[in-house]
Structure 1
Amino acid sequence: MNSPAYIGRFAPTPSGFLHFGSLVAALASYLDARAVGGQWLVRMEDLDPPREPPGAQAAILQALEAYGFEWDGPVVYQSQRHDAYASVIERWFQQGLAYACTCSRKQLEPYEGVYPGLCRNLGHERRDAAIRLRVPELKYSFSDRVQGHVEQHLGKDAGDFVIQRRDGLYAYQLAVVLDDSWQGVTDIVRGADLLDSTPRQLYLLELLGLPAPRYLHVPLIIQPDGNKLGKSYRSPPLPADQAAPLLVRALLALGQSIDPHLAQASPADVMRWAIAHWAPEAIPKVRALAEAQLRKPA
């Protein structure tokens, strides 16, 4: 790995506050970058204003600071990048790669998340319609640094996917690819819930003529009921006064060896120790871990 060329990032969605599952993903991306002397960026994926509670963005940044994260350069906000997304969609629409879709959620329920192409050749007007991207009947695969070989047949497993919603909001898949490329991101470290999104993003990169980054997907942290820790399940926000012990628990979730004295150290000291001892090869090769079962340090 060419250390100076490493650019990583953490891109939270401000639909809630930072929680323990977010901390695990943020910590993995931060340590992976800093351990090789790379840059670490923060990008606010504020694509969905109706779902964003007041103060969430500021609270996320404050929590990162309290836990000892230091990012390079200014925070980027996707809400300020709409022109870039619109330009690409317009080009693909003119090329026939994108089309308008008027299907409702109820219409699509029987297809279990795989779009069957109902509007593909109907030539709907774009007003009051979602915009979908045509996908090829091909497999896209990649080698994840933790999860190994991953592949997906876009036509059979995903179908034509949305790049702009019916309400005009831009879709995650398009925005994340354009912004990672624009920021020069070389390494994407994130939760395993996004493993299945990666082949679609590889297809977008191919259409845009852009190189693919390296990928590392860490296990999700799940609750006793099987749901992942997340904003939609009202997962508790990170308490600032528990930064060091929660960083230690996050390191345990990532399979890292722990100095038993770290829980009493400052967040900055935990970070320094963790950077020096980062071992990505120790990350569990599973898609999910139960938060309640994480071993606590002695």
Structure 2
Amino acid sequence: MKKILVTGANGQLGSELNVLSMNYPNYQWIFADRTKVTLDNLDLLNTQLESIQPNIILNCGAYTAVDKAEAEKELAFTINNLAVELIAKYASENNVKLIHISTDYVFDGSSAIALNEEAPTNPINVYGESKLAGEIACLNNCPDSIIIRTSWVYSKFGNNFVKTIQRLMQERESINVVNDQIGSPTYAADLAQAMIDILESSNWVPGIYNYSNEGEISWYEFALSIKEFGGYNCNVGGIPSSSYPTPAKRPEFSLLDKKKIKAIYNLNIPNYKDSLRKMFI
């Protein structure tokens, strides 16, 4: 029986994989939080991997505090780059299948069309820089790995935009949400299923893939959909990013082109509204 190690077990994606793992008893699942797989301590990390001896690694663990990363660059790079490099080396040396999760924040947001896997990268914040460095380290050290770039991840688990907006809409009569950042949300349960579908496929094609739900929207439009499904009475206003300054700049346009992953793995990717509705059921 193949042993699957899932890092970042308590995060959104790790939690959704944990739910889905019940449907796949043909694998031995190991869900590792930061005590079992310590991404910020590389010496310990190597020892932990050798102790677990997985056949497959789903690397969902990451430093994801986008604004905090501006002040914690070293920590962000340790987790998002150096730990990935170590995991990739381990995977390569031990014939371990590796799926590593990356982000749309590797792009600068200047595109006007959906970004495919060959689009030029140019991150505009520390988080994006650290994740791009992790992608490069992953492919350099384990050319047989699969990297999945995703965007705007949400889930019923963890902290995310959907849960924040739900809370604010219950607390306030009106809120403002930026309307000039364009992309598509990703329901973590859908991405988790896509990762398992890749594992279950007999077709392992290394390289970079994009995955998000279908649709092209702003955060403001996303908030309107949350209002609709939640039945909230809160008024929602759209504002430019300049009216909501944050320590880290965000790409204005980071819509991901999913043609490659759909073609190679025959995935049926749901529209963002259909997946958002599922979360509310």
Relative to the length of structure 2, the TM-score reads: 0.32
Rg larger in 1 or in 2?
A: 1
Relative to the length of structure 1, the TM-score reads: 0.30
